[in-house]
Amino acid sequence: MEFRNIIDTQKSVLQRIELKDWKNRGIEVSVKRDDLLDEAISGNKWRKLYYNLQQALHQKSAGIFTFGGAYSNHLLAVAKACSLLGIPSLGFVRGEELTPASNHTLEECSAYGMKLEFLSRELYRLRNDKMFIDELKTEYPAYYAIPEGGANFYGMIGCQEIWKELPGDIDHVFVAQGTTTTSCGLLMGAGENTTIHAVPVLKGFEVKETMQKQLVYALFDEELTDSLLERVCLHDTYHFGGYGKYTEELLTFIQQIYAATGIPLDPVYTAKAFFAMYNELEQPCYDGQKVLFYHSGGIQGCKSVEEKEKIRFFHAG
Ligand SMILES: *Cc1c(COP(=O)(O)O)cnc(C)c1O
């Protein structure tokens, strides 16, 4: 299959939503529904994979290897994309106690033909270490390596291109942050009057430093990087305890937003970012402003929470 045809980006509609008193205050909120791109090659993961897949094909790579945690949206996206393209895929998973049957994400990855190798936490920590990657490349010659979360230059460029599908007059963009690749890409493509509101889902994570490093790497320009970073507004108090943690309040919020808008949110990433936006828009400085919520997908990650909490998120009542 031609790689660009894997996903039809027209499925990612721009959905206007009206909640609270937004309408009276002239706040226009739209949601860029990248969650609708594909269930498995979901949201920002497709954006980050696009140019990586192109490279892997150009290099006639023997396969692709990458890294991810037990419920990784990225691993699943790579698994399905590779299966559609007929490229062997290999996933290095964090946690030697796991097996391909440990959860629905890993089961699905295997079903798409991804070979899974389980690494100890100690080894997994080396996932961005050049020597470790080189070692893996001697073990898997001619494989194309994609870092965890698709966090590389090509990933960023793919996210910058989301702007091709967006109106140019947006004042504020709210986006969930893991590795910061998506927010960096959005920042690179944003107009000079657009503020990027980044909501890190990890606790105590050096966001600005991470973004600075990635942007300098991509742009070769520290001044430009600093001027871009001035347009980032960090909301680092919405992590709900840290990565993968959530509260009863967040789960209830997910149900409320789904009932009011039909938009599903996941408790790891998008619900936290949406909660931040919902809260921040209370401030009068947003009156009359055009706001975009970038829905980065990740709904497959919900299944485990649903099972654990014995609730059905998306069926309020
Ligand atoms: C991976 C992921 C993110 C994090 O994106 P980064 O580019 O790593 O900052 C955000 N939302 C969802 C749903 C994700 O799966």
pLDDT band at 317 (very low <50, low <70, confident <90, very high): very low
Determine whether the shortest distance from the Cβ of 200 to ligand 1 is under 6 A. Answer: no
Determine whether the shortest distance from the Cβ of 264 to ligand 1 is under 6 A. Answer: no
pLDDT at 204 over 90: no
Task: List pLDDT tens digits, range 161-178.
Answer: 999 999 999 999 999 999
Q: Which of 17, 5, 27, 291 is nearest to 166 (CA)?
A: 291
> How deeply is 71 buried, as exposed, middle or buried, from its count of CB atoms within 10 A (0-12, 13-18, 19+)?
buried
Q: Please tell me the distance between residue 26's alpha carbon and the centre of ligand 1 in angstroms.
A: 30
Determine whether the shortest distance from the Cβ of 160 to ligand 1 is under 6 A. Answer: no
Q: Please tell me the distance between residue 296's alpha carbon and the centre of ligand 1 in angstroms.
A: 6
pLDDT of residue 307: 72
pLDDT at 306 over 90: no
Determine whether the shortest distance from the Cβ of 149 to ligand 1 is under 6 A. Answer: yes
Q: Tell me how far apart the alpha carbons of residues 298 and 100 are, in angstroms, rounded to a whole number.
A: 20
Within 69-193, strands assigned E span 89-94, 115-119, 143-145, 172-177
| Tokens at 129, concatenated | 């270490």
pLDDT band at 4 (very low <50, low <70, confident <90, very high): confident
CA angle 145, 147, 151 (to 5 degrees): 130
Kindly give, in sequence order, each residue whose CB lies less than 8 Å from that of residue 296, ignoring residues fewer than 6 positions away.
Answer: 34, 35, 43, 44, 175, 176, 182, 269, 270, 273
Determine whether the shortest distance from the Cβ of 73 to ligand 1 is under 6 A. Answer: yes
Determine whether the shortest distance from the Cβ of 195 to ligand 1 is under 6 A. Answer: no
Percentage of the chain modeled with pLDDT above 90: 91
Q: Please tell me the distance between residue 24's alpha carbon and the centre of ligand 1 in angstroms.
A: 32
Q: Please tell me the distance between residue 25's alpha carbon and the centre of ligand 1 in angstroms.
A: 30
- The mean pLDDT value for 148-152 works out to 97
Task: List pLDDT tens digits, range 207-249.
Answer: 999 999 999 999 999 999 999 999 999 999 999 999 999 999 9
pLDDT of residue 1: 66
Residue whose CA lies nearest to ligand 1 atom number 5: 178
Q: Mutation test of ligand 1: which of 293, 296, 304 has the most ligand atoms closer than 8 Å to its C-beta?
A: 296
pLDDT of residue 303: 75
| Least confident piece of the model among 84-93, 143-152, 298-307 | 298-307
Determine whether the shortest distance from the Cβ of 296 to ligand 1 is under 6 A. Answer: yes
Q: Please tell me the distance between residue 40's alpha carbon and the centre of ligand 1 in angstroms.
A: 14
Q: Tell me how far apart the alpha carbons of residues 78 and 100 are, in angstroms, rounded to a whole number.
A: 16
pLDDT of residue 199: 98
Mean pLDDT, the chain, whole residue set: 95
Residue whose CA lies nearest to ligand 1 atom number 13: 298
| Least confident piece of the model among 99-113, 263-277, 282-296, 297-311 | 297-311
Enter the pTM of the model: 0.96
Q: Please tell me the distance between residue 72's alpha carbon and the centre of ligand 1 in angstroms.
A: 10
pLDDT of residue 27: 98
- The mean pLDDT value for 192-201 works out to 97
Q: Please tell me the distance between residue 44's alpha carbon and the centre of ligand 1 in angstroms.
A: 6
Q: Is 71 helix (H, G, I), strand (E, B) or coil?
A: coil
pLDDT of residue 315: 59
Q: Please tell me the distance between residue 182's alpha carbon and the centre of ligand 1 in angstroms.
A: 7
Determine whether the shortest distance from the Cβ of 44 to ligand 1 is under 6 A. Answer: yes
